[in-house]
Amino acid sequence: MKAEAEAVELAGAGFSFGRLEVLRDISFRAEPGEVVALVGRSGCGKSTLLELVAGLRQPDTGRVVTGVDDVDRIRHVALMPQRDCLLPWLSAADNAALAPRNRGVPRAEARAAAGPLLERFGMGEFLDTAPAELSGGMRQRVAFARTLLAGKPVIALDEPFASLDAITRVEMQEWLASALAAEARTVLMVSHDVEEALYLADRVLVLSERPGRIIAEVTSPASRHTPRADVIVSEPFLGARKRATEALGTGA
């Protein structure tokens, strides 16, 4: 099931854990089909912001709107957390098929939907493989397939490659760039890697230290249709990386 991309808009959104203010006056709009990355220091509220968008938390101030709905955001947003959360007793195909099965789709039909997507993701030979027998990159592909099969117009990715080694991470960045280019979804992505964020996203929003506020916005010159090795050494990309890194350094 594929959904039409929807806009995501935050207007003056703030959130606190008790007396601890985590996010303050967050305002931005992600257009339908746009990929927006959030970068910032640890503890600045990036993951909490995704939880607000996904409807897992409610803002204390301001509004968070997905599509035309500012209440039932869970219907609009599929959240992929840092850990792949694959169930060890299910195969790769059955793990990917969990999203449609949770909507009441029969197992055979759900697997039939998962199979072609996993094949497109280079997992065709591993449909019946248990998670313990898959590499970290393969597990992330299964988790991403499960996220897409949720059929929601907005995808929230919380540092999807944080647990991978450097070489696998680069490979997965190129793979995800290709996958996002083929999917008409609106994507919000958290990353602690400026280079990764600029390569995968259309725009990068830099958050300050806690309480997180947007202190810079950098438009990415990268194309998800261009090899990463060519993109990251181009002058426009290096300039964008410098602006984002400087904003992170000030943290004001």
Residue 235 CB burial class (10 angstroms; 0-12, 13-18, ≥19): exposed
Contact yes or no for 101/110 (Cβ under 8 A): yes
Peptide bond into 221 cis (omega under 30): no
In the chain, list all ranges with CATH 3.40.50.300.
Answer: 8-76+155-250
Tell me the per-residue pLDDT of 56-115, one tens digit each, with 9 for 90 and over. 999 999 999 887 555 567 778 999 988 888 999 999 999 999 988 988 889 999 999 999
Tell me the per-residue pLDDT of 108-143, one tens digit each, with 9 for 90 and over. 999 999 999 899 888 899 999 999 999 988 998 999
Query: Could you tell me the sign of the dihedral formed by the alpha carbons of 16, 21, 23, 25, in that order?
Result: positive
**Which structure tokens are listed for 152?**
């929601």
The confidence score (pLDDT) of residue 10 equals 94
**Which structure tokens are listed for 196?**
């990764």
Alpha helices, DSSP H only, in the chain?
46-54, 92-96, 98-102, 107-120, 136-149, 166-181, 194-200, 228-231, 235-250
Q: In terms of Cα–Cα distance, which of 215, 105, 185, 8 is closest to 204? A: 215
Tell me the per-residue pLDDT of 3-61, one tens digit each, with 9 for 90 and over. 678 899 999 999 999 999 999 999 999 999 999 999 999 889 999 999 999 989 999 99
| Higher pLDDT, residue 163 or 146 | 146
The confidence score (pLDDT) of residue 205 equals 97
Query: Does the structure show a pLDDT above 90 at 213?
Result: yes
> CA separation (Å) from 20 to 16, 37, 132, 199, 212?
5, 24, 39, 33, 12
What is the band of 2 on the pLDDT scale with cuts at 50, 70, 90?
Answer: low
| Higher pLDDT, residue 121 or 206 | 206
What is the band of 251 on the pLDDT scale with cuts at 50, 70, 90?
Answer: low
The confidence score (pLDDT) of residue 17 equals 93
Query: Does the structure show a pLDDT above 60 at 1?
Result: no
Mention every residue, 6+ apart, whose C-beta is less than 8 A from residue 30: 7, 8, 9, 36, 186, 187, 188
Do the strands 77-80 and 154-158 form a parallel or antiparallel pair, or are they unpaired?
parallel
The confidence score (pLDDT) of residue 8 equals 93
Can you tell me the distance from the alpha carbon of 228 to that of 251, in angstroms, rounded to the nearest whole number? 28
The confidence score (pLDDT) of residue 71 equals 57
Fold of 8-76+155-250: Rossmann fold (3.40.50)
The confidence score (pLDDT) of residue 252 equals 52
> CA separation (Å) from 7 to 107, 111, 167, 180?
32, 30, 33, 16
Contact yes or no for 54/9 (Cβ under 8 A): no
Query: Does the structure show a pLDDT above 80 at 200?
Result: yes
The three-class DSSP label of residue 36 is strand
